[in-house]
Each structure stands twice: as C-alpha cells, then as structure tokens.
C-alpha cells in the first residue's frame, strides 16, 4: 500500500462549537478540552474569538504557559472594517494581542454578502482582505483566510469569489479555507466547485474546507472536498456548532483514516482515543452523549436479537464495518427475554467471567431476565444493569453497598427556618424534596439526608453523601438522562413504570434500569445500579 496522504485537522470546537445553543464553556473547561485535543493529535486548535470577551483574552494568555505536544493554537478574528486603516482596526489589534503564531481571519467571499450584509463596495472588500492578510504577515503571523459564504458566492458570482481567494493568496495567506457557511451546498456540488478551484490555482497544500450541517451532509461534504484534493479539514468534536452544527470531526477523522487511506493523527493509538475524546468533550460541555453517533456512540456496534446478532456471533465482521476497538469503542449484544444462551455467554465472555460462569449459569441468568422483564424491566435498554445482573451471579460477589431503608418527603411549602410565609420569585410556595437514607457499606451503617430539586435528585444527593467518604470517586458520576415510561398502559396512576437512567463520567457512558409501581422505588433501583456499576468498572 502506498504511503498515506497527510490531511491537516483544524478543530474549532472552542470557538464555532460554543456557538451552539446550550454550550457555554468556562475558561478552565476550554483549557481541559485543549489538552485533550492535543493528546488526540489534531494539528490546529482554534482557541476563541480574539478580543471578543475577557474569557477568550485570558485563554490566550493562559495557554501560552501550557506546553502542548502536537497542536498549534490559533486565534480567530476578521478582516479590518470597511473604510478603516488596518493598523488602527480593533479587530486586527485584537488578533495581534492574542500573540499566537497562527491566526485565522474571516472575510466575505460573496458579492451578495459584501454589498447587502456588510454594505460596502466589492472593491473595498477586496482591499479589506488584502490589507488584513498583508498586515498580519508583516507582524510575523501565519494567516489562514476563511472565505466566508464562498460556495454560495461562487454559485452566484464565481468571478468575484475567485478574486477574493486570489487576493488572500497574493497577500500571503498560508491557507485559504472554502466555507459553506449556510450549510446548503450538497456534497456533489462541494466536489465539483472545489475541483475547479484547485485546478484554477494549482497550488498544493493551500486549501481547506469548512462545512455546516444544515442539510445533514457536513461530514459527506468534507470528505467530498478531500476527494477533490483539499489539504485541511475543519470541524468540531461531536459536530457541535451554530444552528445544526459543524462537520463532526470524530466521524471525519475516522472516515479519512479507516475508509479513505488518509493520515490525520500521529498513530493508530491516537485513533483509538476517538470514543474517549467524544465522551470527554460531551462531559465537559455538559451535553448528553448521543448513543447512536457513528463510530463512538454506545450503540454504534450494538446488535439486537435476530439475524444481525446471530451473524455477529458467528463472525463479528458479518455485521460490523470496522473493528470497534480501532476507535476505542466496543461491540455488544442487546439482550432481552428473547435472547438465547449463546448471547448471554457472549456477554459473560466480554466481561472476562467465562472461567467462573458456565452454560448452566447462563441459563439461570436468562430465567432471571425473563422474570424481571415480565415485571417491567428492559435490559436491551440498560446494558449496565444487565452486566450487574451477571456480576451478582458470581459465587463470591459482594455488593459495594446495600440499602437498609430510605424515606422521601415532598412538601409544597418551607418549614421553620425560612418562615411559613416564605415564597419564591413567582409568589409561590416552592416544593421541598428531602430524602433520608440508611446505607450499609464495608460493615458500616450510614444514616444521612439531603434536599434536592425533586425527589430523585434528593435521593441521589443523599446516597452520594452517604457513600462519599468510602468512595470519593463517585463525584465523577453525572446523570445525563432520566426517562420514565409507563409499562402497563391503561391501568391509571397505579401502573408499573420503567425508569431508565443514563450516566457518564469523563470516559464512559452507561445506562441502568429500574421498574416498579412506585416511581421513587423504580428511580432508586436504576440510580443504585448506576452507582454500583461505576464502582465496579473503576475497580477492574
């Protein structure tokens, strides 16, 4: 096989990614993600919009004192304002103040955007591009030019869009990035237009691609640009970004390396970090990991009973397009009351317990699954509860903790300390949830209580409070999703409910289940499974 072509990876999670609704990273969180991306081995990390806010200013000051192994930090800004002198322009001054070797400036590459949006002449926009790139080059910066709205501009007025690119190149731009800013250009168009541009300029390793996901084709468009000959790809971890997001760098990197014979990271070991990086950034950004995300989602290589699972058990390659461990993920069989002994034994083997549990144990576990699922459980939705069920059938298994009893109190007004007449900002008596719990762990019985934002939150806090001294690591657990489903429809408020809890730390995502006619008990069963599974996996 010929030597793999190198493709540059430019990550903009810390800038473009934070423009997604619901993402607001603190300074420390931005630094944590920077270090993680550097460990992954991306070439460039766009740290923020220079001069736009005190947090990004402090980021650029702090990051200079952190030694990175592979990544270069890039400050982001824009071309000078219309009719202003470049040396006095606040945007340009802000970029220089970030004091990074590499800078990215965005400028219009569309005649329509120039005249209608920034309301200046086509000639002045060309001058803005030239002046900005030249001035930054004179100040010893490597300049990346983001040609904003390039693809839309090219379709409307190709001569002007090409002139914008040529101007940036002649002014000394190190890279010129073709941007599908509105995300409306399809992959076939991306390929055709990119090919025309590369033929027009005939300069190797000059152009990059930046796509948005408004047509759900950002990854495909990025790969199409690479097929056309693009050298640099831009995007965000997990596809974060404004509106519907940017190209998902996780999928882009995996596809380039595993499907297109391109090289993006330092080694295959780095590629196997993709699942970990995806979960880590989700955790830091306080976003629920998407379980069906290609390559790295917890269900990306999960096989449910039937032809697919049967084929997988004979040969994993029959229903998997790659080896999951290549990207740090793993295969699993979704087990339910319809599962056979072979599926359960496969799960036992995956846990490394095949020398302890045999076929007779598998048969016993299947019976337990059937009994449990008849009462409302659904193990195909909660793999970690299933794994716990297997562990609990080990001859020497000891639970990390045991519930003695608990009590949950819910009131619609505060008691003594806040005064009986106390009301919230909406002039309402707030609901008070308080949980008291008694837990036995390591031959100790702990009795504690906590208030929370609802009964389940109170129960969670009380449980953690009781276990924190014995297991301080439980502070890493974050509840990322809580789902309640009525199992027996039509039986009113006394129906059995199923509670699914998804939890995560900075590395993994796991799901647990509980079922009961009492929603608090069902929640406790799922919650306690989540904590116990975390403690088991941490001890392995």
Q: Compute mean pLDDT per 10 residues along the chain, 540 residues long, and list them.
A: 79 94 90 93 93 87 92 94 92 93 96 93 95 96 96 96 96 96 95 96 93 96 96 96 95 94 83 90 84 85 60 61 84 62 80 87 87 84 88 90 91 56 55 90 91 90 93 90 76 76 86 91 94 88
pLDDT of residue 495: 80
Q: Report which DSSP code applies to 116.
A: I
Domain 5-266: assigned CATH number: 3.20.20.70
Residue 252 and residue 10 in contact, taking contact as beta carbons nearer than 8 Å: no
**CATH of the domain spanning 401-470:** 3.30.160
The confidence score (pLDDT) of residue 440 equals 92
Number of H-type helices and E-type strands within the chain: 18, 18
Q: Give alpha helix (H) positions in 392-475.
A: 455-467
**Residue that the structure tokens 């390039």 belong to:** 150
Residue ranges matching CATH 3.30.160 in the chain? 401-470
Query: How big is the CA angle at 262 (ends 245 and 324), to the nearest 5 degrees?
Result: 70
Whole-structure pTM value: 0.73
Comma-separated ranges of CATH 3.20.20.70 domains in the chain: 5-266
| Helix (H) or strand (E) run with residue 55 in it | helix 54-63
Alpha-helical runs (H) found in 121-217: 122-138, 150-156, 158-171, 187-201
- What pLDDT is recorded for position 115? 92
- Residue written as token pair 């999703």: 481
pLDDT tens for each residue of 19-67: 998 899 889 899 999 999 999 999 999 999 887 788 999 999 999 999 9
Burial code of 99-130, b = ≥16 C-beta within 10 A, e = fewer?
A: ebebbbbbbbbbbebbeeebebeeeebbbbbb
The H or E element spanning position 359 is helix 359-374
The pLDDT, as a whole number, for residue 1 is 38
**Nearest CA-CA partner of 229 in 257, 253, 252, 196:** 196
Cα separation of 442 and 128, whole Å?
70
Please report how many Cα atoms fall inside a 13 Å half-sphere around the Cα of residue 357, on the Cβ side. Answer: 28
pLDDT at site 324: 86
Max CA distance (Å), the chain: 82
| Res 318: pLDDT | 62
- Distance CA(297)–CA(504), nearest Å, equals 13
Please state, in angstroms and rounded to a whole number, the distance separating the CA atoms of residues 225 and 217: 12
Q: Which of 368, 375, 405, 386 is nearest to 516 (CA)?
A: 375
């Amino acid at each position: 096989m010929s030597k793999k072509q190198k493709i540059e990876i430019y990550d903009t999670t810390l800038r473009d990614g934070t423009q997604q609704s619901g993402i607001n990273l603190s300074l420390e969180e931005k630094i944590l993600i920077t270090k993680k991306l550097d460990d992954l081995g991306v070439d460039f990390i766009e740290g923020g919009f220079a001069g736009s806010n005190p947090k990004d200013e402090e980021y650029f000051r702090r990051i200079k004192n952190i030694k990175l192994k592979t990544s270069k930090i890039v400050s982001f800004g824009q071309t000078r304002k219309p009719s202003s002198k470049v040396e006095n322009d606040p945007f340009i001054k802000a970029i220089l103040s970030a004091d990074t070797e590499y800078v990215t400036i965005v400028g219009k590459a569309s005649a329509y955007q120039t005249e209608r949006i920034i309301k200046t002449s086509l000639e002045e926009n060309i001058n803005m591009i030239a002046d900005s790139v030249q001035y930054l080059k004179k100040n010893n910066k490597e300049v990346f030019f983001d040609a904003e709205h390039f693809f839309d501009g090219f379709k409307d007025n190709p001569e002007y869009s090409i002139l914008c690119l040529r101007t940036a190149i002649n002014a000394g731009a190190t890279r010129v990035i073709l941007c599908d800013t509105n995300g409306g250009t399809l992959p076939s168009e991306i390929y055709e237009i990119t090919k025309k541009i590369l033929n027009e300029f005939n300069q190797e390793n000059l152009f990059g691609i930046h796509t948005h996901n408004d047509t759900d084709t950002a990854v495909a468009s990025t790969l199409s640009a690479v097929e056309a000959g693009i050298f640099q790809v831009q995007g965000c971890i997990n596809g974060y970004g404004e509106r519907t997001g940017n190209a998902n760098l996780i999928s882009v990197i995996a596809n380039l390396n595993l499907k297109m014979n391109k090289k993006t990271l330092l080694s295959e070991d780095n590629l196997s970090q993709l699942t970990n990086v995806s979960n880590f950034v989700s955790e830091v950004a306080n976003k629920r990991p998407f379980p069906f995300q290609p390559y790295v989602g917890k269900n990306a290589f999960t096989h449910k009973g039937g032809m697919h699972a049967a084929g997988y058990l004979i040969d994993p390659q029959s229903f998997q397009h790659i080896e999951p461990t290549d990207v740090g993920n793993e295969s699993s069989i979704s087990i339910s009351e319809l599962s056979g002994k072979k599926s359960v034994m496969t799960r036992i083997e995956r846990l490394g317990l095949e020398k302890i549990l045999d076929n007779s144990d598998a048969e016993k576990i299947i019976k337990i699954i059937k009994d449990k699922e008849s009462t409302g459980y659904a193990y195909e939705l909660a793999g970690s509860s299933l794994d716990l069920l297997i562990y609990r059938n080990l001859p020497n298994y000891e639970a990390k903790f045991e519930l003695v009893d608990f009590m949950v109190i819910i009131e619609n007004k505060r008691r003594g300390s806040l005064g009986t007449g106390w009301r919230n900002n909406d002039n309402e008596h707030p609901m008070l949830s308080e949980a008291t719990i008694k837990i036995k762990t390591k031959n100790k019985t702990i009795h504690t209580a906590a208030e929370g934002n609802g009964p389940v939150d109170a129960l969670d806090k009380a449980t953690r409070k009781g276990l924190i001294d014995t297991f301080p690591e439980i502070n890493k657990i974050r509840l990322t999703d809580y789902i309640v489903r009525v199992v027996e429809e039509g039986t009113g408020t006394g129906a059995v409910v199923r509670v699914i809890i998804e939890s995560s730390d900075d590395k993994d995502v796991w799901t647990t289940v509980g079922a009961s006619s009492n929603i608090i008990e069902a929640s406790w069963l799922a919650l306690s499974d989540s904590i116990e599974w975390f403690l088991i996996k941490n001890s392995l």
